[in-house]
């Protein structure tokens, strides 16, 4: 695996200088690798992982199971790509099983999300049904546990 890609998959935030040191290559090589990964659409961008549960104006999030009609020649792709373009949609996956698409959406309020579902999503031609589940609480997000005592561990400060 590309050494820079390997570092990225570990999900640790490093500067290019730190990446260079960790991968044992020069900083300009790191930049080249990053540039190539962007060009290849492997590295799409950064998003911070945040716990906003204590923020009063945190977004409302929901997962929506969507059944759609596949189309000759393109299967589910055209509709899935179209749905994905909405700003409210954070992620969109084609699934095996009882429904076709699983969509993660977020919005400023329950009404706004509900409005998106009833006005935009379910009215699209080809969408057969939707089933919306609002998220009540997050326990783990992007590999991070939400409730961790504190990073201050009780490891002895000096040990043999």
Output the smallest distance, CB 16 to other proteins, in A: 14
Question: Does 41 participate in binding other proteins (rule CB under 8 A)?
Answer: no
Q: Which stretch binds other proteins (CB under 8 A): 10-18, 55-63, 65-73, 134-142?
A: 10-18
Which residue from 1, 24, 49, 136 is in contact with other proteins, where contact means CB under 8 A?
Answer: 24
Output the smallest distance, CB 46 to other proteins, in A: 17
Question: Does 118 participate in binding other proteins (rule CB under 8 A)?
Answer: no
DSSP string of the chain?
Answer: --HHHHHHHTT----HHHHHHHHTS-HHHHHHHHHHHHHTTS----------TT-TTPPEEEEEEEEE--BTTTBTHHHHHHHHTSTTEEEEEE-SSS-SEEEEEEESSHHHHHHIIIIIITTSTTEEEEEEEE----SEETTEES----S-----SS--
Question: Does 14 participate in binding other proteins (rule CB under 8 A)?
Answer: yes
Output the smallest distance, CB 23 to other proteins, in A: 8
Applying the rule CB under 8 A, the residues between 77 and 106 that interact with other proteins are: none
């Amino acid at each position: 695996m590309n050494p820079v890609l390997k570092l990225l998959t570990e999900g640790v935030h490093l500067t290019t200088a730190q990446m260079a040191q960790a991968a044992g290559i020069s900083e300009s090589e790191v930049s080249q690798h990053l540039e190539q990964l962007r060009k290849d659409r492997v590295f799409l961008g950064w998003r911070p992982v945040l716990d906003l549960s204590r923020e009063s104006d945190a977004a409302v999030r929901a997962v929506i199971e969507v059944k759609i009609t596949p189309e000759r020649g393109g299967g589910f792709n055209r509709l899935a790509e179209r749905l994905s373009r909405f700003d409210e949609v954070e992620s969109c996956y084609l699934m095996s099983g009882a429904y076709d698409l699983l969509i993660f959406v977020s919005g400023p309020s329950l009404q706004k999300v509900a409005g998106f579902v009833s006005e935009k999503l379910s009215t699209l031609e080809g969408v057969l049904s939707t089933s919306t589940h609002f998220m009540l609480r997050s326990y783990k997000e992007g590999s991070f546990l939400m409730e961790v005592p504190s990073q201050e561990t009780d490891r002895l400060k000096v040990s043999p």
